[in-house]
Amino acid sequence: MTILKATTQGQRLSQVVLAHIQGYLQGKKMKKIIFCAFMLGVLFNLPGCVTQTKQTSQKASDLSNPQTLPPTLISREVLFGNPSRYQGRVSPDGNSMSFRAPVDGVMNIWVGKIGDFDSATPVTQDSGRGIPLHFWSLDSRYVFFTRDKNGDENWHLYRIDLDSGDIKDLTPYDGVQASQMDQNAAFPGIVVVGMNDRDAKWHDVYKVDVATGQRSLIIQNDGFSYFVLDNKLNARVAVKTAEDGASHVFIKSFDEWNPWFEVSFADSSSFNILGFDQQNEGIYMIDTRERNTAALVYLPVGDTTPTSIASSDKVDVTNVLFHPRTHKPIAYALNYIRPEWHAIDDALIDPIQQLNSQLSGGSQVLAQTIDSSLWTVFTDQSNQSPIYKVFDTTTGELSDLFITQPEINNLPLSVMHGVVIPSRDNLDLVSYLSIPLEADPNQDGKAERASPLVLLVHGGPWGRDEFGFNPLAQWLTNRGYSVLQVNFRASTGFGKAFLNAGNKEWAGAMHNDLIDAKEWAIEQGITSNDQVAIMGGSYGGYATLTGLTVTPEAFQCGVDIVGPSNLITLLDSIPPYWESFRQVFYHAIGDPNTEEGLALLKARSPITHVDKIEKPLLIGQGANDPRVKQAESDQIVEAMKKRNIPVTYVLYPDEGHGFSKPENNLSFYAVAEAFLGTCLGGRIEPIGDDFSGSSIEVVHGAEFIPGLAEHLGSK
C-alpha cells in the first residue's frame, strides 16, 4: 500500500519534518511526517539564552524555608544542546539499528548491530545544520535521509549504501522539494518520491531506483492535492481541493479520473486516505463524516458508505499502524491527556495490554520490522530523559534501546500535569501545566505559592501540545516560571467541532481561549495577573503578537519566534507547493479576494494594532523561512521603531522556520532568558560562551536587554 499526498489543514501541511517528531512507519508506508505550516515541534526548539548576572524573584521570607529554595540552575547547554543519541530505528530485518548522534558537534547518522553500541559508526559526515530525519529501506540495505539548505525547506532525499558507504542524492534537481516518500515491500529497491521540479506548485510522482537514482514517472500532477497509489504502484485515487474548501475524491478507470465522493470543508480538515488494502479492492481512511471525532474506516472501491473499524467518542483515532506485508491495520492510538494504544488484530490484544501497562507517559511507534514482530517505540516521561525502546509484539516485552540524555535524569526536573480548562463558551481545553519545584514541592500540580507564568503557545495552529519531556518547560520552570501549554480551539485530535471552532477565529475566540487559561491559572493561585508572559513559535508567535496588541494589558512581555504579523502578506507569500491548499487557508483564516475576508484579515493582523503595544517584545526570525518570511518580522519591527516602541529583533541568516543548529538555539535562549528575567524576575544563567559558533545577528534593540550589546561585541 503506497500513499502519496500533500497536506491538508488538520494534520498535514508539509511532508518533511526536522527531527523525528512523528517518524516513518516502515512497511505499509512510511508514516507521514506532520510538519504543519506553523508547527510546534521544530518551533519550540527555540534558540539560546543570555545574561549578565543571576537574578531571582525569590522573596527573603521564602528563603528561610528550605522547601522554597530554588533548585540547582540547569545549564541551557544540557537542555538545548545535542542529545547523546536520538531518533532510534531498528532495521526492517531486525538485525541492525540506526540513530542520530553528534560527530564533531553536528548530528549525523550512526549504524550498528542492534543493541551493540560499540559496533555503531557514523555513516554521514554532515558539518552544517545536521541530518534532521532518516529511515531505512525495506530490504535493510540502505538508509535514507533528508536535508535542505539553511532552512529553505527544499528537501532533497539521499540514500546511503551500507555496504560501500556511497551516498547519492536521489532528487538532484535545482529548487526541488522532495515529498511524499514511500516504499512498498513488493517492490524492493524502489522508493516513490514526489518532486516539483517541473512545476513548483505541483509534485509529480516518480519511482526512483535506489541503487542508481534513475527515476521514472508514475503520474504527472496537473492540479491534484495528492494521489493514492495501490499496491502495484498505480495511481488509483486522487484528491482535489475545491474552491469551497471541500475535498473531491476521484477514482481512475480506463485512464480517466472519475468523481467518487466528496468531503465537505468541515470534514476535510481531518480527512485522510491511508491507502489500499492488499487486494487493491478498497481504501482505509480517517473520516469524520456522520460523526464528530475521526474514525478509522474502510471503503470498497465504488462504494460510498464506509465501514467503521475503530473510533472513540472523545478523541480522534491517530497513529494507525499497518502490517508491512499484509497492509491490514493492526493497532491505533487515542490521545486525550496521554496516548493509549489499542489492538485491531486479535493477536495483539494481550501484547498491547502489556505495552500500555509498561507506559505511564507519552509514546510513539516510529518503525516496524518487515514482519511487524518488533516496533521501535519512543517513550516520554515529563521529568526524565526520553527512552527509545523495542517492543516485541509476540511476547509483549518492552526493552530499552537507549536513553537520549542520561545526564538529565540526575537533575531537578519538574513534573508536567494534564489539566482540562473550561473556556468561556464551555469548550474543554486539554492543557499541560508545569510548576517550579520551589512553588510546588510535592510536584502534585497544586501550587503552594504563586510564581511568574509563561503561557507557551503551540504552532500550527493545526497541531497540539502533548504530554512528555519538554526542554522549554524544564528550562522555564528551573528559572522560576510556571508553564501553561493550552490546546486552544483549532488544535487537532479533539474532534472536528473543536477543530472547526477555530475557523475565522485567529485573534478572536482562539485568543480568548488563551486568555481564559491565563485567568484559570490566576484563580488556581498558580500565578498573579501582573506576572504572565506569552511565548511561542509560528502560530504561537502570532499569538504572542496578538497578545501584546489585541490585549495589551494581559501580558508583561512576549517572545515571538517566526510569527506572522500581517495575515494578508502571509497568505500572499505562501510557498508555491501549497497551492492546492490555498482555499483551505482562505476558509480557515480569511479570503483576501473578498471585501469581507480582506477586512477580517486586516482586523486580525497584529501589525494593524501595533500602536497598542505597551510591553516589551523579543522577536526571533530565520532569514530563509519559506512559510513565515522574514518580511513578517521586518515590518512589525519597522512599525514599532517608527512609534518608538521598544523591541529586540534577533535574526539568523542560516535558519528557516525555527532554529535547527544547537549553537543558534543556545544563543537565542540566552537572549530570551535575559529578556524574561528582566520582565518577570526569574533566574538568569550567565551567558558564558553561548554565542560561540552561532550566526546570531541582533538587527535592532540590543540595548533593551542588559548585557546583550556587550556580548555581541565579544562574539
Distances (CA, A) of 655 to 220, 263, 269, 566, 630: 32, 37, 30, 21, 11
- DSSP label of 12: B
Q: Which three cell numbers stand for residue 488?
A: 486552544
Whether 584 contacts 268, CB under 8 Å: yes
- Concerning whether 538 is annotated as a catalytic residue, the answer is yes
Parallel/antiparallel/unpaired status of strands 558-561 and 532-537: parallel
The amino acid sitting at 416 is M
- Concerning whether 625 is annotated as a catalytic residue, the answer is yes
Angle at 531 between CA 465 and CA 700, to 5 degrees: 80
H or E stretch covering 525: none
Q: How far apart are CA 583 and CA 592, in angstroms?
A: 11
Q: How far apart are CA 306 and CA 295, in angstroms?
A: 10
Judge if the upstream peptide bond of residue 461 is cis by omega within 30 degrees of 0.
yes
Q: How far apart are CA 450 and CA 438, in angstroms?
A: 10
What's the burial of 714, exposed, middle or buried (CB within 10 Å: 0-12/13-18/19+)?
exposed
Q: How far apart are CA 215 and CA 206, in angstroms?
A: 6
Whether 634 contacts 13, CB under 8 Å: no
- DSSP label of 284: E
- Give the torsion sign (CA, 245, 461, 384, 121): positive
What's the burial of 413, exposed, middle or buried (CB within 10 Å: 0-12/13-18/19+)?
buried
Extended beta strands in 242-327, E state: 247-253, 256-263, 272-276, 282-287, 295-300, 307-310, 317-322
Distances (CA, A) of 422 to 337, 338, 443, 497: 15, 19, 23, 16
Q: How far apart are CA 185 and CA 362, in angstroms?
A: 30
Query: 625, 660, 667, 700: which is the annotated catalytic residue?
Result: 625
Q: How far apart are CA 17 and CA 8, in angstroms?
A: 15
Cell 544547537 belongs to residue? 662
User: Would you call 473 helix, strand, or coil by DSSP?
Assistant: helix
- Concerning whether 657 is annotated as a catalytic residue, the answer is yes
Query: 657, 660, 690, 711: which is the annotated catalytic residue?
Result: 657
Q: How many residues does the chain have?
A: 715
Query: 96, 270, 538, 694: which is the annotated catalytic residue?
Result: 538
Active-site residue numbers?
538, 625, 657
